Structures are given as C-alpha cells and as structure tokens.
Chain A
Amino acid sequence: MAHCERASRPLIQCLQKSSMRGISGLQLQSTRAFQSTTILRDEVQTEAKPQAFYKAPDPALVSSPRLERRLMRQGILPVGSRRRRAALQNSDNLPFEQLPYQCFQAARKVLLADREEKLKEITATSEKIARIQALPKEELSRNANASRLKALELHLETLQVHADINDPLVKKKFEDGQGDMSKPIYRYLADQQWREYRRKILVQRITQMNVIPDVLPHCDPVLDTKLYFGRKPVPPGEFVNAGVSSTPPKLNIQMFEGGEKLVTIAVVDSDVPNVETDSFDYRMHYLAVNIPISAINTKVDLNQLSADSQVVMPWLPPVAQKGSPYHRLSVFILEQKDSKPLDFAAIKAHETDRDNTLLRTLQARYHLKAIGAHLFRSIWDETTFDVMKQIGFPEADMELRRKRVEPLPYKRRNPSTFR
C-alpha cells in the first residue's frame, strides 16, 4: 500500500461511519464478497450464506496466481492489475463520485460543466444534421449540402469524443478492457493506444521488409489487425512453421470508425523463386471478397468464410523450398469502394490463376484501397516436406543452391605506371 493510501485510510473510514450511516439504503454495490465496513458485512450476512471466495473467485478481486489461472482456464480474464485487485479486496466500497477530497470534487465540477457544454453542442449539431437530412432529395444531393452534412457528422463524432474524454470512469472501463466499441469514445481511445505502439511496429515491419513497394505501392493502415494460427497470435513478420500455417489463419480486425465496411482480404507471397528468369514471382495464397467488418464485429476466420459468396481463392498452405530465401506472406485488408459488394461470380470466373494475379492489378481493377496489413514469413523447416507432399508441390524433391559467380579476370597492372 502506498503511503498516501495509508494516511488517508483512517480519514475515509471515519467519514464513512459518520456520514454514510445516516444515508442508509445507499446505492453501494453489494456484489463484492469481501467487505470491511460493518454495514455491508451485515448486508452480506442477511442476504445469504457467504460462499468461500476460492470456490467462486471474483475476477475483479482475485489476486492469487493460482485462482487467476483457474479463472483464465474458465475463459474469464481477471480485471485490471493484480496490485489493484489486491488493494480492492480490503478497500471500502466508496463510489468514485463520493470520494471525500475537496480538490477532487472541485475538479469534478469543472469537468461536469465542460461536459454539459459539450452535450449542448451535440444536441445543436444533431439538430442541424436533422434539418439538412429533412431537405427534399434534389436539394440534398447538391454538392454543398452533401459536403456540409459530412462535415457536421465528423464534427458530431469529435464532440462525442470530447464530451467523455475527461471522464475517469470511461478511462477505467477502457483500461479494464470493458470498453464498448460501438461508442466513439472507446474507439478513439483504442485507436490512440494502437497508434502508440502496435501500429508503429507494423509499419516498420512492412516497410523494412519491403512489402510496401514490392506488393503494393502504398498502404496507410487504419485497422488493427491481429493474426492467429490456431490460438497462437503471430506478431508481424514472425517466421511461421509450414505445419502450423497449413491451416488458414484467423484474423481479428479492429475498426476504429463507426459503421460497417465491406473488405477484400488477400494473402500474397512475394518471394516465389523462379529459376528460369533468375528472379522472384508472386503467388496469391488466399483471396476473399465482400467480408463485412465493423467496430464490434471483428473476428474473421478465413476457414469459415462462405465458399460460394466470399472465397475466390481458398487457402494454399505456404511452403518455402529448401535453400530459397525467406518468403514474405503479407495479408492485406482492402476496403471496397463505397462499401459496395463486388460481383462475386464475375471475380470468381475472372481470377483463377494464382501465379499471375498481382495485388496491384486487383487494386486497380476493383478500386480497392489498402487499409490494413499484416505479415508473416516462412522458410524451409522440418515440416515443410510433409506439407509439400500434402498439397502436391511440384518441386518438392528439389533444393536451391547458390549459383557460383565467376570472379573477374585478374587484371595485370601496367608496371610502368608504378614507380
């Protein structure tokens, strides 16, 4: 316990005993099993026979690693840090708004006033939006009105974020992972958190490994993409065993904007060795279109997508021939124009050749825009040969060896130029 807490504890308890007794029937939550205050202990005892904590550990209070592990095995994650949970176990159940600090209460008043102001602005803006939307069709489609509507909607979104951004409870909820992604404020916070570290890593990997000029000319990721083979997350750029990557991965695509989008997902290998031309080719390992994603609908299992309306090219397990340099398998999430569905049957009929389908061409042909990316690598390992046999890889029994470069002929220097 920190020193400040130790100092303030008697004060809080004293205040609680004197003031809260009077306001009995308080809206204190009685969900927690451990209470140090007398009122609540009475309450618990009257309610029911208390169950032992270790039999049904509370994810908000559990602090021993053993119980934490048990909870996690059940699929429940403990809330917040262990230190916080341990501190909560024997803290007084004081609602956040009633914390007895003068400065704190004064600051809250300022923040509440600010929030009131923002709420007023929100109502004003939404009224304006409603007025524009109520206009007749021909006037609404005019350029000025349409752009004004768009600007107002953007403004409304920022106002909604600003109204809640100073709320400590919102921050706490977000940090506990209980944020509701359908609300703009939690999306905003999640976006900030993603841009702080994970996006930087992703951008660094895809640029340093030259995925960006090799596969696509440009990509500005705005989606947080996580890739899982089985249950194991793969950080961008990691080497994945051929045996592991023989099953299609699962994606977790987190959008930070409202609304729903239709996206195309493509997995491209940009390092297919071509011995005849002495260079590298591309191969499309997976292509699926018309996949709906939104801020709350994030999970995409490449194995579960429907074969007759989404998957154009099913998953081809990546294999790297022995001796070939590592293969970069880049996953791209491309936004379809205006979130309109593409004609699946036409694409299926047109795009049949895995080897000669460049992502650059697809992007131009179907007006796609890359909004998310991920990357993993594959290289020859002990499981590769089995996977090659499974998929009937043609050059399974060949390996690549370094070509000997003929040294330059020895050039005899003219001795007369030397002294």
Chain B
Amino acid sequence: MLQPRLLTPLRALGGATARSNNFINRLIPQQSQAQSLLSRTTSALRLAQSSSILSNPLLSFSQVRHASHSAQGAANKHSRDPAGKRLGAKRTGGEYVVPGCIIFRQRGTKWFPGENCAMGRDHTIYAAEAGYVRYYLDPARHRDRKYIGIVFEKDGKLPTPQNAPTRRKLNRIAVPRLPENVEQGQSDLTVVVSEETGSMVGSVTAVDAQDGKQLRPGYMWREANWSIGRAAEKAGITAAPYDRNDRWLAWRKRQAKAQRAIQMKSLKNKKKASKKAKR
C-alpha cells in the first residue's frame, strides 16, 4: 500500500544521490556500493534498509491517515447528562389561566393547541383567552393528536360538538371614540438657568413643548426637535407619491444618478492626480 506513494520522493532522492554522491558517501561510507545500486534501480526496500537516516523524515512527510482508523480523544467531549430543560406541563387540567399564560413546554408537538390556545415559536402551548385548561382528544379533528384547550366555564367540556357554533368572547369595552388625526405634542429637553443652581437640563411637559422657541441644551433658542421635523408638513410641502409606472421620472432619476456618479469619479481622479503631482 505504501509503495506507490513512496516512489516519488525516492525518485527525487535518486536524482539527488546521483548528483551529490560525494556527500552521501561521506555520511555513510560503508554503504556506498548500495547507494550506486539505488541510483539505478530505485528500489524502495533497499533504500529503507540502507539509508535509514535519510529516508525517515521523508517517509513521515508523506504518511496518510484513512477514515477506517477512528480518531482519538472524544472520550468526554459530548456531555452525556446535560442540564434539564424544564419541559412539561406548567398548568394542569382545570386550572385557571389568563391570556399569555404558558400551559405546556415541549420539544416538537407532543400536544397541539386546541380551542382558545396558541402555539409559540418553540411549540410552547399558551392560553389565548382567560379560562380553564382542558387536555383532550378530538377524533373529529384529527385521529391521534392530543389537544390542549381553554373553556370559559369551570365545568365546561371539550371537544365541543362538531357542528356547534364556536364559543367566543368579545373581551372588549365600549368607550367614546376619539377623533382621529389629533396631533399630540411631545416633550423635549430644555435648559433651565437660575442664579442658585446654575444651568440645568430638564424636560418640559408635552403641553409646554408646543409653544415656540425655548432655551435648549447647547444654549440655543429653538423649537423642539419634533416640531422641526414637522416643518415641511407645516409649510404644506408634499412629495408626489411614488408611481411605479412613471418610467419617465424613473429614467430621469437614473440618469441624474449616473451623471452624479461620473462627476464624483472625475473629482476623485483629479484629487489623486493632484496628489501624485505634489509628490
């Protein structure tokens, strides 16, 4: 198995021996006859016996490890007893839960979300309504899935009959409707200067922030940041809505962009050129 791989370095060695016969003769004077033989035949065995000092580093250089020999050093690499992940039921059947309450933690779907329940990103079952937990089977829905559901009454039953209307809760209250689009002021930072304390940065309430310029951090008399951001809106400047089909505008924009790119490139080149000239 080793022979074909050995041949190449040996051939190189043969060439080397032919060229520097003197050197090798000095190293191993007893075997000089064998060396001359080697240069003719390039026999591997002969070499291994004859010039052990020379051939050993070369051999180790070309060694191969195959996959059939197992790698060492995996004795304690994979922990055989990892920490528990605290999976399992967090709420038993019949227990009261509120929306968002975690009922079951699991890997994969050992249980499925039934009535008024939902499943999280890691298959955790949690409550979507306030009520009482039920663990049940529903053969009409699926042959062998186990479900977790919520019922609203303490003695409610699941699964519900197949063609009965679903039971839901509104969970909402009626309040007077607020008019839409009422702009609400926001608070912003101001500077308060007084004799005793020096200058202090404080925040004003939303109501005060609306009326005009005030002393802001950096000793500037200016409006609040949010009202500066609304300047265009106040001035009545509106951007035309983007029209996908307006290819003429798109072409002009693209052209302008290309022009600008060319311009910037030329500027860059000029800068470089001037730098070179300086040098």
A interface, over-half SS: loop
In Å, the complex CA distance between A402 and B101 comes to 18
CB-CB < 8 A to B177: which residues of A? 322, 397-399
B166 interfacial by beta-carbon distance below 8 Å: yes
Q: How many residues of B contact A (CB 8 A)?
A: 23
A210 interfacial by beta-carbon distance below 8 Å: yes
B2 interfacial by beta-carbon distance below 8 Å: no
Q: Is the CB of A408 within 8 A of B176?
A: no
Select which of B101, B168, B169 is within 8 A of A408 by beta carbon: B101
In Å, the complex CA distance between A273 and B171 comes to 10
Select which of A215, A217, A406 is within 8 A of B98 by beta carbon: A406
B170 interfacial by beta-carbon distance below 8 Å: yes
In Å, the complex CA distance between A212 and B174 comes to 29
B274 interfacial by beta-carbon distance below 8 Å: no
B interface, over-half SS: loop
Interface residues, chain A, with chain B CB atoms under 8 Å away = 210, 212-215, 217-218, 273-275, 278-280, 322-324, 395, 397-403, 405-408
Interface residues, chain B, with chain A CB atoms under 8 Å away = 96-99, 101, 130, 162-178
Select which of A278, A322, A401 is within 8 A of B169 by beta carbon: A278
CB-CB < 8 A to B175: which residues of A? 398-401
Q: What's the nearest-Cβ distance from chain B to residue A243, in Å?
A: 16
Q: What's the nearest-Cβ distance from chain B to residue A138, in Å?
A: 42
In Å, the complex CA distance between A395 and B170 comes to 16
CB-CB < 8 A to A400: which residues of B? 170, 172-175
CB-CB < 8 A to A401: which residues of B? 172-175
Q: What's the nearest-Cβ distance from chain B to residue A271, in Å?
A: 9
A280-B172 contact in complex given A213-B163, A406-B98, A408-B101, C-beta closer than 8 Å:
no
Q: Is the CB of B169 within 8 A of A279?
A: yes
In Å, the complex CA distance between A407 and B96 comes to 11
CB-CB < 8 A to A397: which residues of B? 176-177
What is the chain A residue whose CB lies nearest that of B180?
Answer: A382
Q: Is the CB of B162 within 8 A of A213?
A: yes
In Å, the complex CA distance between A323 and B177 comes to 10
In Å, the complex CA distance between A274 and B174 comes to 10
Q: Is the CB of B173 within 8 A of A403?
A: yes
Select which of B97, B166, B174 is within 8 A of A399 by beta carbon: B174
Q: Is the CB of B163 within 8 A of A218?
A: yes
CB-CB < 8 A to B168: which residues of A? 279-280
Select which of B130, B162, B165 is within 8 A of A405 by beta carbon: B130
What is the chain B residue whose CB lies nearest that of A322?
Answer: B177
In Å, the complex CA distance between A401 and B170 comes to 10
CB-CB < 8 A to B166: which residues of A? 210, 213-214
CB-CB < 8 A to A212: which residues of B? 163
In Å, the complex CA distance between A322 and B179 comes to 12
Q: Is the CB of B172 within 8 A of A402?
A: yes
11 example contacts (A-B, Cβ-Cβ < 8 A) are as follows: A210-B166, A214-B165, A218-B163, A275-B173, A279-B169, A395-B174, A397-B177, A400-B172, A400-B174, A401-B172, A406-B98
Q: Is the CB of B170 within 8 A of A278?
A: yes
Q: What's the nearest-Cβ distance from chain A to residue B24, in Å?
A: 74
CB-CB < 8 A to B165: which residues of A? 213-215
CB-CB < 8 A to A407: which residues of B? 98
A279-B163 contact in complex given A398-B176, A405-B98, C-beta closer than 8 Å:
no
Q: Is the CB of A273 within 8 A of B172?
A: yes
CB-CB < 8 A to A278: which residues of B? 169-171
In Å, the complex CA distance between A8 and B56 comes to 79
What is the chain A residue whose CB lies nearest that of B160?
Answer: A213
In Å, the complex CA distance between A214 and B97 comes to 25
A323-B172 contact in complex given A213-B163, A214-B165, A214-B166, C-beta closer than 8 Å:
yes
B162, B164, B177: residue with the most chain A Cβ atoms closer than 10 Å: B177
What is the chain B residue whose CB lies nearest that of A395?
Answer: B174
Select which of B101, B167, B172, B176 is within 8 A of A324 by beta carbon: B172
Q: What's the nearest-Cβ distance from chain B to residue A55, in Å?
A: 30
Q: What's the nearest-Cβ distance from chain B to residue A37, in Å?
A: 43
CB-CB < 8 A to B99: which residues of A? 405
CB-CB < 8 A to B173: which residues of A? 275, 400-401, 403
A215-B165, A399-B178, A402-B172 are known contacts; what are 12 more A-B pairs with Cβ within 8 Å? Answer: A213-B162, A213-B163, A217-B163, A279-B168, A280-B170, A322-B177, A324-B172, A395-B174, A400-B172, A400-B175, A406-B98, A408-B101
In Å, the complex CA distance between A371 and B12 comes to 91
What is the chain A residue whose CB lies nearest that of B130?
Answer: A405
In Å, the complex CA distance between A408 and B103 comes to 13
In Å, the complex CA distance between A399 and B164 comes to 30
Q: What's the nearest-Cβ distance from chain A to residue B1, in Å?
A: 59
CB-CB < 8 A to A210: which residues of B? 166
CB-CB < 8 A to B176: which residues of A? 397-399
In Å, the complex CA distance between A212 and B178 comes to 36
A408-B96 contact in complex given A213-B166, A397-B176, A397-B177, C-beta closer than 8 Å:
yes
Q: Is the CB of A275 within 8 A of B169?
A: no
CB-CB < 8 A to B174: which residues of A? 275, 395, 398-401
Q: What's the nearest-Cβ distance from chain A to residue B182, in Å?
A: 14
CB-CB < 8 A to B101: which residues of A? 408
What is the chain B residue whose CB lies nearest that of A218?
Answer: B163
Q: What's the nearest-Cβ distance from chain A to residue B119, in Å?
A: 17
What is the chain B residue whose CB lies nearest that of A275?
Answer: B174
